[in-house]
Structure 1
Amino acid sequence: MNAISTVSRLLLVTTFFLLYSCKEEEKITEMDLLFSSLHDDQAKWWRYHKTNIDLSSDFLPLGEDGDSISKKAFFEALLTGEFIAIEKKSNAARDQYQLFKLTKESDGDISYTISADSYREYKHFTMEGQQFPDFNLKDLDGKTYTKEALLGKTLVVKTWFLNCKPCIEEMPQLNQLVEEYSENKDVVFLSLSLDTKTELQKFLSERKFKYAVVPQQKAFIEDTLGFSIYPTHIIVEPSGKIRKVVNTAPEMIASLKSMNKG
């Protein structure tokens, strides 16, 4: 009888430790709780995503298990529509985003939205490191720009058109940037517009824009570069390779300044 009691007690102790270990492994994290509060409400998730996740930044991508993965693999997971990104809070210099898999209980609209939102950033990411296409462009003042002549310089390009409200609204910020680099002759600011020379000259007679302006570039922008969203900003390294492609002035400015620090 005593032997049986001893065995029973040992079994209970073993079971307790096994259960305790399982609970430790399944410990709920702050990120788990955040995911639980977001994944079944598309509007709530979207507000979080636009406020906290910047897929154009130099973030550290993490897989489902929290291990580092390639940026390509991270984007490809988001493009399936089966995952969302949650920011991992840390003291690291770079933002860290971790993949979380959607469930049957998740709002179905999230899947479509994350896939569509990630596509543009993925396309921009795949352009990084590629050679910027050859060009021979003439600005409104008659000055010619070619890729060959600009090798050895950093080229900052903006695509825009006159009826694009965001394109116009960011001009003061871009003018300030040009001023900051006015003493640096190794950085060239060039803008490609859809509009005609006459239309641009009329606009610029009333509003200052300190980039060099090249008219009627629809074919180069949309066919050669493959862009359909305006504005788009491209930073080209002195080697002629694309460093960064983004859609807002703050993103471009941050990347340019980071590049110069490096």
Structure 2
Amino acid sequence: MQKFIGLLVLFIISITATAQTKFSEPEVDPIQIQKNFKDWSVYQSKNIMLSRDFLALDALSTEISKETFLDQLANENYIPIRLKSEQGIYCYKLFTIQPNSDTSIKATINQIGFDALKNYKMEGTVFPPFSFKDLEGNLVSNESMKGKIVVIKCWYIHCTPCIREFPQVNKLAAEYKDRKDMLFVSLAEDSATQLKTFLSRKPLSYAVIPDMKVYMNEALQLNSFPTHFILNKEGMIAKVLPNFESLEVALDKESKL
């Protein structure tokens, strides 16, 4: 019996050690990537997607919840680095920001972490009461959206990143055009007149709802644009996303559920 217990303990230790070393090596040098803001920013935008599902490790390589991970990014002195892993497996670890790093790195990470944490906490909640007409006069409401996967893009005319992704979101909408259980809607701050003039030059394949500044500020409490929402068929918020890249990944997953 003692021999069995001893073997069981060794097995558990072995499994634990394997789990801890499986994601042991960062894909970039955590210190070198902090040398200047540009290098870090390029790495962050291409390799760290905080809206996706990932295994989160603290600075001591201990697994923590995603919420705790994002909270530490928002309020403490860390950068996130992806650890080397198999294709399709994502593990992010916190590394301490060095004293001589560009101060813009910490400020930007804190803001990114704050936004990501706020978005994460909205997941699983009911989309706020909604009943508005789009530019074509069609009523879009919580009731009309129920039973469908809904993609919502929040934007305004003078938001450069919002407009830059128009070709990508139009292509995405085209890819799902045969899905009768999917709906693409956009909420814009601008008036109907302004939007009709603007969209005649830069078309958007989504249904466009004008004059949504108050709703986005008060009901959705947005402080960053673009912001994308994915609602599941029960009208619950499945994902809140900061850009097209994260939207594309999340929608592919949601559309297969």
Matched, 1:181 2:198: no
Aligned equivalents of 2:178 and 2:120: distance in 1? 30
Rate the CA distance shift 1:32–1:232 in 2: closer, same or farther, 3 A: closer
CA deviation after TM superposition for structure 1 residue 125, in Å: 1.1
Residue aligning to 1:121? 116
Q: 5 Å matches for 1:82-97?
A: 82-91=77-86, 93-97=88-92
Q: 5 Å matches for 1:140-179?
A: 140-179=135-174
- Give the secondary-structure state (helix, strand or coil) at the position aligned to 1:34: coil
Q: Deviations over 1:225-260 (max 9, x none)?
A: 011322211111111111111121222122111111
TM-score (normalizing by structure 2): 0.81
Matched, 1:233 2:232: no
Aligned equivalents of 1:196 and 1:51: distance in 2? 34
Give unpaired runs (5+ residues) of structure 1.
Answer: 1-28
Aligned equivalents of 1:212 and 1:32: distance in 2? 41
Asked if the contact 2:34–2:101 (Cα under 8 Å) also holds between the matched residues in 1, the reply is yes
Instruction: Give the partner amino acid of 1:169.
Output: R
| RMSD (Å), alpha carbons | 2.3
Asked if the contact 1:61–1:71 (Cα under 8 Å) also holds between the matched residues in 2, the reply is yes
Residue aligning to 2:125? 130
Q: 5 Å matches for 1:207-222?
A: 207-222=202-217
Q: 5 Å matches for 1:16-35?
A: 30-31=25-26, 34-35=29-30
Shifted more, 44-53 versus 181-190: the winner is 44-53
Rate the CA distance shift 1:184–1:70 in 2: closer, same or farther, 3 A: same
TM-score (normalizing by structure 1): 0.80
CA deviation after TM superposition for structure 1 residue 64, in Å: 2.4
Percent identity between the two aligned chains: 35
Rate the CA distance shift 1:106–1:172 in 2: closer, same or farther, 3 A: closer
Matched, 1:55 2:56: no
Aligned equivalents of 1:236 and 1:32: distance in 2? 33
Instruction: Report which of the two structures shows the higher radius of gyration computed on alpha carbons.
Output: 1
CA deviation after TM superposition for structure 1 residue 92, in Å: 5.5
- Give the secondary-structure state (helix, strand or coil) at the position aligned to 2:52: coil
Aligned equivalents of 1:39 and 1:203: distance in 2? 40
Residue aligning to 1:203? 198
Q: Deviations over 1:170-203 (max 9, x none)?
A: 2222222222222211111111111111222223
